[in-house]
Amino acid sequence: MKIEIKPDCAYTAEEMIPLYAAVGWTNYTASPEMLAEAYRNSLCVLGAYDGDKLVGIIRAVGDGASIVFVQDLLVLPDYQRRGIGARLLKTLMERYAEVYQFELLTDDTPKTTAFYEAIGFTRADRLGCRAFIKMKTPT
Protein backbone atom coordinates (compact mmCIF):
# COMPACT_ATOMS: atom_id res chain seq x y z
CA MET A 1 0.00 0.00 0.00
CA LYS A 2 1.43 3.35 -1.08
CA ILE A 3 -0.33 6.29 0.54
CA GLU A 4 0.19 9.64 -1.14
CA ILE A 5 -0.30 12.94 0.73
CA LYS A 6 -1.82 15.57 -1.57
CA PRO A 7 -2.14 19.26 -0.70
CA ASP A 8 -5.19 21.44 -1.15
CA CYS A 9 -7.15 19.15 -3.42
CA ALA A 10 -10.71 19.92 -4.40
CA TYR A 11 -12.58 17.49 -2.20
CA THR A 12 -16.13 16.52 -3.07
CA ALA A 13 -19.01 15.81 -0.72
CA GLU A 14 -19.13 12.30 -2.19
CA GLU A 15 -15.70 11.51 -0.70
CA MET A 16 -15.82 13.74 2.38
CA ILE A 17 -19.14 12.76 3.97
CA PRO A 18 -18.38 8.99 4.04
CA LEU A 19 -14.98 9.72 5.61
CA TYR A 20 -16.54 11.78 8.41
CA ALA A 21 -19.35 9.24 8.84
CA ALA A 22 -16.87 6.37 9.13
CA VAL A 23 -15.32 7.96 12.23
CA GLY A 24 -18.66 9.02 13.71
CA TRP A 25 -18.34 12.78 13.29
CA THR A 26 -22.06 13.35 12.80
CA ASN A 27 -22.00 17.12 13.35
CA TYR A 28 -20.29 17.40 9.97
CA THR A 29 -22.35 14.75 8.18
CA ALA A 30 -25.59 16.38 9.38
CA SER A 31 -24.52 19.72 7.91
CA PRO A 32 -22.66 19.21 4.62
CA GLU A 33 -23.10 22.88 3.70
CA MET A 34 -21.24 23.92 6.86
CA LEU A 35 -18.51 21.38 6.09
CA ALA A 36 -18.08 22.72 2.56
CA GLU A 37 -17.87 26.31 3.86
CA ALA A 38 -15.38 25.25 6.54
CA TYR A 39 -13.13 23.70 3.92
CA ARG A 40 -13.33 26.76 1.68
CA ASN A 41 -12.20 28.95 4.61
CA SER A 42 -9.43 26.67 5.90
CA LEU A 43 -5.79 27.64 6.02
CA CYS A 44 -4.61 24.26 4.79
CA VAL A 45 -6.10 20.92 3.83
CA LEU A 46 -4.10 17.78 3.10
CA GLY A 47 -5.52 14.47 1.95
CA ALA A 48 -4.11 10.96 2.19
CA TYR A 49 -4.92 8.81 -0.82
CA ASP A 50 -4.65 5.12 -1.50
CA GLY A 51 -4.79 5.34 -5.27
CA ASP A 52 -7.90 7.39 -5.99
CA LYS A 53 -9.48 6.67 -2.61
CA LEU A 54 -9.42 9.38 0.08
CA VAL A 55 -8.46 7.55 3.29
CA GLY A 56 -7.47 10.41 5.58
CA ILE A 57 -7.54 14.16 5.90
CA ILE A 58 -6.15 16.97 8.00
CA ARG A 59 -7.64 20.46 8.05
CA ALA A 60 -6.06 23.46 9.73
CA VAL A 61 -7.26 26.97 10.46
CA GLY A 62 -5.28 29.96 11.70
CA ASP A 63 -3.02 32.72 10.44
CA GLY A 64 -0.09 30.53 9.39
CA ALA A 65 2.40 32.78 11.22
CA SER A 66 1.70 32.73 14.93
CA ILE A 67 -0.83 29.89 15.15
CA VAL A 68 -2.08 26.86 13.30
CA PHE A 69 -5.06 25.11 14.84
CA VAL A 70 -5.58 21.52 13.74
CA GLN A 71 -9.33 21.40 13.32
CA ASP A 72 -9.78 17.94 11.80
CA LEU A 73 -7.53 14.91 11.58
CA LEU A 74 -9.25 11.71 10.59
CA VAL A 75 -8.38 8.42 8.96
CA LEU A 76 -10.74 5.69 7.79
CA PRO A 77 -10.93 2.97 10.47
CA ASP A 78 -9.54 0.28 8.12
CA TYR A 79 -6.46 2.47 7.54
CA GLN A 80 -5.81 3.52 11.14
CA ARG A 81 -2.65 2.49 13.01
CA ARG A 82 -0.60 2.56 9.81
CA GLY A 83 1.05 5.94 10.36
CA ILE A 84 -1.24 7.88 8.03
CA GLY A 85 -2.48 10.32 10.68
CA ALA A 86 1.08 10.93 11.84
CA ARG A 87 2.21 11.57 8.26
CA LEU A 88 -0.61 14.04 7.71
CA LEU A 89 0.19 15.90 10.92
CA LYS A 90 3.95 15.92 10.29
CA THR A 91 3.42 17.17 6.73
CA LEU A 92 1.28 20.02 8.05
CA MET A 93 3.89 20.86 10.69
CA GLU A 94 6.66 20.87 8.08
CA ARG A 95 4.63 23.18 5.85
CA TYR A 96 4.31 25.67 8.75
CA ALA A 97 7.65 24.97 10.44
CA GLU A 98 8.14 28.61 11.50
CA VAL A 99 4.75 28.97 13.22
CA TYR A 100 4.94 29.84 16.92
CA GLN A 101 2.33 27.33 18.09
CA PHE A 102 0.21 24.44 16.89
CA GLU A 103 -2.96 23.77 18.85
CA LEU A 104 -5.75 21.22 18.78
CA LEU A 105 -8.59 19.83 20.86
CA THR A 106 -9.14 16.09 20.97
CA ASP A 107 -10.77 13.32 22.93
CA ASP A 108 -9.32 12.73 26.38
CA THR A 109 -8.29 9.12 25.91
CA PRO A 110 -4.97 7.34 26.47
CA LYS A 111 -4.86 6.51 22.73
CA THR A 112 -5.14 10.13 21.57
CA THR A 113 -2.83 11.41 24.30
CA ALA A 114 -0.16 8.90 23.33
CA PHE A 115 -0.56 9.71 19.63
CA TYR A 116 -0.12 13.47 20.00
CA GLU A 117 2.62 13.25 22.63
CA ALA A 118 4.60 10.92 20.34
CA ILE A 119 4.55 13.67 17.70
CA GLY A 120 5.76 16.30 20.15
CA PHE A 121 2.57 17.88 21.44
CA THR A 122 2.18 18.67 25.16
CA ARG A 123 -1.09 18.70 27.07
CA ALA A 124 -2.08 22.30 27.78
CA ASP A 125 -2.42 21.70 31.52
CA ARG A 126 1.25 20.71 31.65
CA LEU A 127 2.12 24.17 30.31
CA GLY A 128 0.04 25.96 32.93
CA CYS A 129 -2.72 26.58 30.37
CA ARG A 130 -6.42 25.87 30.36
CA ALA A 131 -8.55 25.53 27.24
CA PHE A 132 -12.01 27.05 26.99
CA ILE A 133 -14.63 26.36 24.38
CA LYS A 134 -18.14 27.65 23.62
CA MET A 135 -20.17 25.52 21.29
CA LYS A 136 -23.44 26.26 19.54
CA THR A 137 -26.30 24.40 21.15
CA PRO A 138 -28.12 22.10 18.73
CA THR A 139 -31.52 23.44 17.73
Per domain, the residue ranges of the chain are 3-101
Backbone torsion region of residue 88, taken as left when φ is above 0, otherwise alpha when ψ lies between -120 and 50, otherwise beta: alpha
What pLDDT is recorded for position 96? Answer: 97
94 in Cβ contact with 46 (< 8 Å): no
Helix ranges (H only) for the chain are 13-22, 26-29, 32-40, 84-95, 110-118
Where b means 16+ CB within 10 Å and e means fewer, 76-101 reads beebeebebbebbbebbbeebeebee
| Digitized pLDDT (tens) for each residue of the chain, 139 residues in all | 799 999 876 777 778 888 899 998 888 888 888 888 888 899 999 999 999 889 999 999 999 999 999 999 999 999 999 999 999 999 999 999 999 999 999 988 999 999 999 999 999 999 999 988 898 776 6
In single-letter form, the type of residue at position 117 comes to E
What pLDDT is recorded for position 32? Answer: 84
* pTM (predicted TM-score): 0.89
Fold of 3-101: Aminopeptidase (3.40.630)
